[in-house]
Structure 1
Amino acid sequence: MLLDNTIRASEEQKDQLAGDIQMLKKAAQEIAVIYKKQQQIISDYQKYKTLSDIANGTKETDYISFERYVLAIYYEEIIEAANLRFQQMTNNRYLLLRKEDKGKGAGAKGLDLDVFDHYTGQTRSVKTLSGGEGFKASLALALGLSDVMQSRSGGIQIDTLFIDEGFGSLDPESLDTAIEALFSLNSCGRLVGIISHVEELKTRIPVHIKVDRTTEGSTAKIIL
């Protein structure tokens, strides 16, 4: 009698354990399916995260933001066009270069400029240029931008260009080269307007508008 009860209890325990094993096997299969799906989700996430980091320039590497990457493509064209003017205005001394060394956390960079000095054979920041040289670089970039916009505008002509000041920082030789570059634009059919207080420009430019300020207001007069 005691043995029968023991056998019966063992069989019940066996059946219960068998049921538990089946439940655990089913749970293990479900976990395996969920784990496989989770691994695929993690893999997809890593791909998209890497793409997002590259596009947003958030990695602390040589990445730049996607916006600046696209701008840099056009910027290269502008620099190339600007160098045609800049070399002319500096007697082939300087060449503008887009700065490639972006360094750590370069998401906010990618559009900085360097200048190559043919006299020294060295590359340095445009911030080291003198006031007159900096004005020439700015003028060359403005003209380069105008050239690129015109070439990409589907036939739209940019016929007028106004330059506000900056000539006062130029020495006589630099002033000559800057004016020569502007006259070359004028000879190509573009209207170039210069806003300046430099007296020498009055004798160099045949047609100008003189603005006088009085107590009753300002007056403008065309001088031929």
Structure 2
Amino acid sequence: ELKSLQKRIEELENKKKELKDIEIRIKQKEEKIREYSILSEAFTSIPVSIQNRLKPRIALETSYLVDEMTEGKYSEIELDDDYGILVGYDNELYPVSRFSGGERDLINLSLRIAISRVLVSLSSEHGFSHVQSLFLDEVFSSLDSERRQSLLKALYKLQNHFKQILIITHVEDIKTSVPYAINIEELDGYSVVKSV
């Protein structure tokens, strides 16, 4: 009977681990859905004529960023009519879903950065000041440790495009991987800022 109970405990531990893995995958999928809905909302509010003029610029900027961050592994990005991402590899275009999770995260982040850079360049063309900062909020939360480090390495390659890159995260190991970090904690109803 003891062996039976031990086996049952082991089975329950395995089920618990499987459940945790499923929860992580669900969280990652929810993050992707949130990203797509943000992009969809942004583009549905822009008239079609402007979208058609912006799409090639966004694709070109995304291609440039992906090429730089993957060290030439992927150098061509195209956007289909619905702004779905197509990635050039071995002289063929493939949907972004074909690639690994880390590569998809990198390409999606590049697209978001490209969109902001194109919009900023349009603003500066029309007399508005040029934004030279990049703000990233919780881009690491759905990634495992290896993907976080890969993405961080890719972000370092963007330093020549932005005077400062600000990352907001709750992921502890990122704080030790950047040149400067601050920690904001609540203490007695006040926010306390500490250098890490």
What's the TM-score, normalizing by structure 1? 0.53
For 1:191, the aligned partner's letter is: Q
- Rate the CA distance shift 1:219–1:131 in 2: closer, same or farther, 3 A: farther
Task: Tell me which amino acid in the other structure corresponds to 1:220.
Answer: V
2-side partners of 1:88 and 1:144: how far apart?
A: 13
Check if 1:202 corresponds to 2:168. no
Does 1:159 find its partner at 2:132?
yes
Mapping of 1:1-224 within 5 angstroms?
67-94=47-74, 95-99=76-80, 110-118=81-89, 121-152=91-122, 153-154=124-125, 156-170=129-143, 174-213=147-186, 216-217=188-189, 219-223=191-195
Kept in 2: contact 1:88–1:177 (CA 8 A): no
Label 1:85 to 1:167 Cα distance change in 2 as closer, same or farther (>3 A).
same
Shift, 1:174, TM fit: 4.6
Q: CA deviation at 1:72?
A: 2.3
Q: Identity of paired residues, percent?
A: 26
| Equivalent pair of 1:81/1:144 in contact (CA under 8 Å) | yes
Partner amino acid, structure 1, of 2:96: V
CA distance in 2, matches of 1:205, 1:151: 28
TM-score (norm. length: structure 2): 0.60
Structure 1: where are the runs of 5+ without partners? Answer: 1-65, 100-109
The one-letter code matched in structure 2 to 1:137 is: I
Q: CA deviation at 1:126?
A: 2.5
SS at match of 1:78: helix
Gaps of 5+ in 2: 1-45
Structural RMSD (CA): 3.0
The alignment covers a number of residue pairs equal to 147
**1:89, 1:177 within 8 Å by CA — same for their partners in 2?**
no
Following TM superposition, by how much is the alpha carbon of 1:74 offset from its aligned partner in structure 2, in angstroms? Answer: 0.6
C-alpha contact (below 8 Å) 2:66/2:110 kept by paired residues: yes
Which one has the largest radius of gyration? 1
